Structure 1
Amino acid sequence: MSTCGWQLPQGARLNTSSDVFSMTSIIPSAYGDMPHSTLIRIIFMGTELHDVPDTLNVWAKQCSLQACVKTLSSSVVNGTLQENVTHTMLNQTVVDMSSPDSESEYDVYIKGGSDDLYLFGMGALLSIRGWFGAIFTNGSATRTTTDFTRSVTDPDRAVVVNLTVGISSGETFFDTDIVTAFYWNYYEYADGLNMLMSDLAVSMTTAFRGFTGAEPVNGKSSSLESYVHVRWGFAILPVAIVLATVLFLIASMVMTRSSETKLWKSSALATLFHGLDHDTRAMFDLNDNLEQEKKQANEVRVRLKRDAPDGTLLRAEKMAC
């Protein structure tokens, strides 16, 4: 294995060909080597291109986060807020702070589209730079079996992942989970690094706008609400039918009770009596209740009479005494 590597003038490096990916964070120093509004610069390097597998292709890419002022055109359509960026301003001034002056002001002022000055205090700027410096520590992704003998609890080697993304596959050793995220995005998407940095900028903007103490903006908001208008005229017919059915049922119940009509609902005798001669039916009329009529029916035997003079179909052969 070769021990040669690659290095950029800014200090970013790949130590050997086994280091397939690296992330180097550059925080603006006190000597004003970067624009005053720069929060952090990150240099990414790698030995594999996104769409060229199994070939040594060394590449490098630099991304930066800067404080800026954006002019927004906002509107609310059907309760949904829509915002379009119409203008963006940066402060590209490089401030030399190698010899600090107690009377000098090192706050960041960014001019807006309407010549208004927006302040980004030096205290907030240094705090954000320190936070980025702690989160985005330098790290690399190594694909070699020699480093896998080290413990994942070592402070400088924390993540081992068996990847199958894009053209990259196999066990890869990462220094930090932040390096893992950028490495994954680079191989998974054609513009993965830019996409992840853009998402980071959007998240920071959202945090600034929603932070405690943010300036509220008064306005009007409208939302869509459903309104149902009932036209009761169409309900007259079905309601009248239901009421008439209920009244008919009640009237039938009252008339049946007042006439002392026997309940034949669960008995088949009513249909069996059809066609019997008058004398046989008269015998059943003498019984007082349905149970007696059922007992009487068990003893009746009938025969079909097709030529009966009175038009009946059935005539009893044997009657109970």
Structure 2
Amino acid sequence: MLNHSQINSTISFFAVITKIAITSAIGNLISQSKWLWYRQDEPHSLKDLQLFEDASRGPWGAVALLFSIRARHLTLIGATITVLMLLFDPFLQQVVIYPDRLVTSKKAATIVRAENYIARNEEGLPLPSVVDMSMKAAIYHGIFDVRDQADVNVEHYCSTGNCTWGGFSSLAVSSKCVNITSYIEKSCNAGGCHDVSLPGGPTLTGFGGQINSSVTNISSSLADIEASVVQFSSLITKSKNDSDDAFAWECALFYCINTYSASVTDGTIQQKIEQTWRNNSATHSQDSDLIYNPPSSVINMTANTSAFKVSSLAARAMNSFMASTFTGSGGIDVSGSGSAFTSDVIHAIYDTRDYSKRIENLAISMTNNIRQQNGSGSGPFNGQAWKTETYVKVRWAWFAYPATVIALSLLYLVGTITETTYRDALTWKSSNLAMLFHGQSLKLEHADRVLVSTLSEMSEKAKDIKVELVQELDEEWKLVQR
């Protein structure tokens, strides 16, 4: 199989051969056309003779011929072809290119998924009532990741740097946040407003750089969600003297079953949630595991899993830890003298610009931890690895130009042959002997007066004729027979 350089060399070789053949043929055809030009019914200027000769030698002469001979004559095709040959090589070189494409590879492509979540310690033993350290790290990472890119940390293996995974299901954590600023109540008197609060929830006294967060259920927007992880609300003020600069959010984190599609492009992973299903009947009031049996009509069960589970110990430990984590308060002295928060988590959610996005990032980070734990109950999901392959692509549109030049050359050849036959002209082409032997003002004499018409006859006759270029007494230059 030819490589890139060999293909380019082959194209260049044939391009040169074709160009030489066409250029040579067109030059001879233009030379022959000059005899056809003077073979017409009316005489033409002797100057045209030089125009034809120049046109047969290159593109500049061909351009001059195009502008000088405006009559409809076959020679115009030849002159046009001579000019078009200037771009013959560039167009032909563009016919073949070597783009890259992705083709399937037999190498491995895996991504983690989980059927179960059972909190375990470093020795792999179940934890009775606390969240394992790896999950705590994932929670803090999700909260403190200011770029909100927890999704890029999902554990996967893609040996080629380009992989895809179709729909696969996994146990996950999802979030939902609603803006409940409209629920804020203000305590005001003649001196102005001093306190803001949420009914049955957090309260702030005074304004300026404060947050109060607690586990509460304030609005009805999340009433249909069994917050199997945690549900909390946060009341935040930013301005020192403006009670209207207060806002509040309420969020729920809950276990669910997600159907994912994922891909790795040039080593960067992207993951998309195709569908989410949750079981609102799974509550912590039951002294049993949280069981999730999504119907096959609702979620794509590509992984052939019918049931997912969160152990009761892990679920209660998670709920207790998250309730403690999102309960707290603090503030920043707007004069710049200092700040105080009950925890770094409370400080982080106070500083976030997109509250809902930060909690979503937290849910993704927790999901990644669940999916990559050893006790997840399932092996990695297999996908398809892709490798880059360079292939030869023929762009036929670029071949239209060379093909047109070749077609015009054939047309010109056939036309010249036809007109030569029709006008009963001899094939003299670029011969100078024809002009010398048959010019009216030239007197080439020899002992035997033999008529010469063809090129071979003229060449044979010319062997015995000696001429010299001389300047006579009248200072005229002449080609004189000796």
Give the TM bin, normalised by the shorter chain: 0.3 to 0.5
Identify, as 1 or 2, the structure richer in helix: 2
Question: Relative contact order: is structure 1 or structure 2 higher (C-alpha 8 Å, sep ≥ 6)?
Answer: 2
What TM-score comes out, normalization by structure 2 length? 0.33
